[in-house]
Structure 1
Amino acid sequence: MCGIFAAYKHEDVHRYKQKALQLSKRIRHRGPDWSGNATKNSTIFVHERLAIVGLESGAQPITSPDEDYMLCVNGEIYNHIQLREECPDYQFKTLSDCEPIIPMYLKHDIEAPKYLDGMFAWTLYDAKQDRIVAARDPIGITTLYMGRSSASPKTVYFASELKCLTDDCDTITAFPPGHVYDSKTDKITRYFTPDWLDEKRIPSTPIDYMAIRHSLEKAVRKRLMAEVPFGVLLSGGLDSSLIASIAARETANATNDVEPSTYDSKARHLAGVDDDGNLHTAGWTSLHSFAIGLPNAPDLQAARKVAKFIGSTHHEHTFTLQEGLDALDDVIYHLETYDVTTIRASTPMFLLSRKIKAQGVKMVLSGEGSDEIFGGYLYFAQAPSAAEFHTESVQRVKNLHLAEPVFLLVYNLYNYLFYYLQII
């Protein structure tokens, strides 16, 4: 994932620029492919890019043709093809999936996040109004923090990680998922308001297994939007195996649809899912799966069997207890937490991410999130009633951004993908 840093209404923004660049450098591990910055009035944006879509022309910050609007995004907008079609009069400058956020802001103002299907944290500066707008995706897959300084009360800071804000801010808060900030009112308001957010609202619609299947397949398909090599994390369990099997089929279908002699990224080929639901991608021609564990771990054996069944190119990695202990300092640095459970769960993922990165892969899918939605944790079996089961599930989903700091992508690879959200 990318890294963003923004300072709005800074008292001496041009003098502050060099410090802003140094602060952003602290999160360059999130975006090692390119660094960009832009300054307008008293506002500066800095961006550390991990290139997934629009490789040649998607560098950020992205500015509008008239230079009145600038945008910094960490994330992916899955419906960017459709959003481009909705804005035929806007002169797009890049093939980035994030650029449509600018015309959507021009069209819908602070309601723009409602029209985005994706995982994102972004800041947009409107130079005409000297206004900044910031938003975070509905579940909080991508991280975003907001800071203020008593020494400069009018200045508002935004960053992907806490370490960018500790020098200047004496007040730092986690930006809430599903919300948007508007400097006009200096308020954060909720834009994501589905019925299921009310855990006391118990659904009565009979289960439709085919609807679940089609939603899951569609969710995996659109998350394969990439112009770089990608893979899947495979433990051999039900969740990751389902994701891997769907991804393998979708990758094969997308590869068969590509005609090498006519494929030309400069002819405005857009990676993503088109209006007919077809996937367009330029990643590897076969799916690569990755597993990690202690030597002879049951998960490794199960993953091996699944990989053979779905036909993925499988990569198996092991680590020792000492290697896990040696990595703790780095894990804590990237997670920015001392929570024991989170660190324990993230250490193998951190080690695996380094291995995957060394193999040239920038994006991976995982089966995370399913236990919260479908009640996969053992204690769900003790639910007194179906209603209480549902209530607990919704609460777990709403708190995912707090309970799963694994959202923080270590070495730019551990891509938490919340596949099942649209099913609820």
Structure 2
Amino acid sequence: DGVFSFVLLNTRDNSFFAARDAVGVTSLYIGWGIDGSVWISSEMKGLNDDCEHFEIFPPGNLYSSKTGGFRRWYNPPWFSEMVPCANYEPMILRKALEDAVIKRLMTNVPFGILLSGGLDSSLVAAIICRHLEGTKVAKLHSFCVGLEGSPDLKAAKEVAEYLGTVHYEFYFTVQDGIDAIEDVIYHIETYDVTTIRESIPMFLMSRKIKALGVKMVISGEGSNEIFGGYLYFHKAPNKEEFHVETCHKIKALHKFDCLRINKSTFAWGLEAQVPFLDKQFMDVAMNIDPEFKMINGDKGRIEKWVLRRAFDDEEHPYLPKHILYRQKEQLRDGVGYSLIDGLKAHASALVTDKMMQNARFIYPHNTPTSKEAYHYRVIFERLFPQNSARLTVPQGQSIACSTTKAVEWDAEWSKNLDPSGRTALGVHTSAYEPKLIADDATVNRKPSQAKIKKPRIDNAIHSTTVIVGT
């Protein structure tokens, strides 16, 4: 029921099984050597130099050396994308999430929660605090990261004060974020703009959390995929398309958010747990008639209404109303909007218009469409030059964490293709507008605040690689 990637070797005949958890919270890759060997690694860099071809090990699958093929072991009813019709029962959904959170507290190591102040992490924190009430366990430690004055820092502090957690705020500057780009790409192993932007603050924060002696953190990933929490779901035309899109999002998590949460934390030896991706919880949540998940202003239903309603307890509130019904922020937006502008301005100073004109010839696969994307691609190709590596990153534009469905549902989305959630114009209450930044002020060049220093690759935990068979 947990998250895992493993290889099981039969020493009698040297056959083996390899398997990966249901959704792909942990990372795993499989490669083949020119001599017939099979390689399994938790990181792509473990295969980069020795395999003729390698690829992502598919989540929810096992591989047998005897058959030389994959077999799906995780195949829940929702995986077929058939539209469910179960009634929405708030108390059943609440109990399922509480169980998913509490089972992840069975640990004997120091732990805490990544608290952004948004709905998902705040609910998880509230459940933990209720569970710890009356026990001798120390107070829950909560952690938040952001630029000075960022929305997440303010919201997380308010939630922490309400719940009574021991709260830590980690600050970083835009320059810290820029300095971390190459380290982040090295560890996260992607050139996807959305994933890199969101990984930067988490990567910086994880180092500081580990330095405090914490070994495990709980996070809120997965909720937006399950409940259609991204803002482009406002445009879903019917419940059938809404549900199918949530299924697609969950199936793709291992290439985006799971990649970020797993590798950003493990880079510093920190383990991350994600209760929203608990198999039993997903079975409950994905079996709800998607009509209840649909955003409907006439009925007062905002994104993730079914989750909010399940924890809207008037007698014993889990959270204040304005937190319970706070609109979704993407991590890179919530930590401070100027981070996006700084990253884009930094890339613009390095990537010329001529380079962009020739991008389709230099990078015919997944051609970068922005200077920021081009900059990340250059770094990625230098670190991972094999064709197999570039093929592990999905193709296509991302708009507010969307797929191409966003433009299909509403053509207006095609007019602004920045991955920020604030490009959801007419949906987000504070639509993102890029700032005009002078050349001398493209980044905040003040010295880093003492709470976060520039990370170093050589301090990080390296990958685990297993060579299994020749």
| Other-structure match for 2:209 | 356
State whether residues 215 and 422 of structure 1, in contact with CA within 8 Å, keep that contact through their aligned partners in structure 2: no
| Other-structure match for 2:267 | 410
% identical equivalent positions: 50
CA distance in 2, matches of 1:382, 1:414: 36
- The one-character-per-residue Cα deviations of 1:10-44 (angstroms, maximum 9, x if unpaired) are xxxxxxxxxxxxxxxxxxxxxxxxxxxxxxxxxxx
Instruction: Output the aligned Cα RMSD.
Output: 1.4
State whether residues 76 and 283 of structure 2, in contact with CA within 8 Å, keep that contact through their aligned partners in structure 1: no
Corresponding letter in the other structure for 2:253: L
Corresponding letter in the other structure for 2:272: N
**Secondary structure, counterpart of 1:411 in structure 2:** coil
- The reply on whether 1:244 has 2:147 as its aligned counterpart is no
State whether residues 252 and 285 of structure 1, in contact with CA within 8 Å, keep that contact through their aligned partners in structure 2: no
Alpha carbons of 1:349 and 1:250: their partners in 2 closer, same or farther (altered >3 Å)?
Answer: same
Higher share of residues assigned strand: 1
- The one-character-per-residue Cα deviations of 1:178-237 (angstroms, maximum 9, x if unpaired) are 0011111111111111110011x1111111111100000000011122111000011111
| Other-structure match for 1:170 | 52
CA distance in 2, matches of 1:386, 1:339: 29
Structure 2: segments with no counterpart, 5+ residues: 287-470
- The reply on whether 1:132 has 2:16 as its aligned counterpart is yes
Structure 1: segments with no counterpart, 5+ residues: 1-116, 257-283
| Other-structure match for 1:305 | 158
Match of 2:146 among 293, 305, 324: 293
| TM-score in terms of structure 1 length | 0.63
- The reply on whether 1:377 has 2:238 as its aligned counterpart is no
Match of 1:183 among 65, 73, 83: 65
CA distance in 2, matches of 1:421, 1:357: 30
CA distance in 1, matches of 2:97, 2:3: 16
Larger relative contact order (CA 8 Å, sep ≥ 6)? 2
**How does 1:135-214 map onto structure 2 within 5 Å?**
135-150=19-34, 152-153=35-36, 155-199=37-81, 201-214=82-95
| TM-score in terms of structure 2 length | 0.57
Corresponding letter in the other structure for 1:393: T
CA distance in 2, matches of 1:390, 1:285: 41
State whether residues 215 and 271 of structure 2, in contact with CA within 8 Å, keep that contact through their aligned partners in structure 1: no
State whether residues 134 and 181 of structure 1, in contact with CA within 8 Å, keep that contact through their aligned partners in structure 2: yes
Deviation at residue 412 of structure 1 after TM alignment: 2.8
Match of 1:346 among 194, 199, 206: 199
Count of residues in Structure 1 that have an aligned counterpart in Structure 2? 277
CA distance in 2, matches of 1:138, 1:286: 31
- The reply on whether 1:218 has 2:99 as its aligned counterpart is yes
State whether residues 349 and 414 of structure 1, in contact with CA within 8 Å, keep that contact through their aligned partners in structure 2: no
State whether residues 136 and 178 of structure 1, in contact with CA within 8 Å, keep that contact through their aligned partners in structure 2: yes
Corresponding letter in the other structure for 1:143: S
Alpha carbons of 1:337 and 1:145: their partners in 2 closer, same or farther (altered >3 Å)?
Answer: same
State whether residues 145 and 173 of structure 1, in contact with CA within 8 Å, keep that contact through their aligned partners in structure 2: yes
**Secondary structure, counterpart of 2:268 in structure 1:** helix
Match of 2:171 among 309, 318, 324: 318
Deviation at residue 418 of structure 1 after TM alignment: 4.5
Deviation at residue 414 of structure 1 after TM alignment: 6.1
**Secondary structure, counterpart of 2:63 in structure 1:** strand
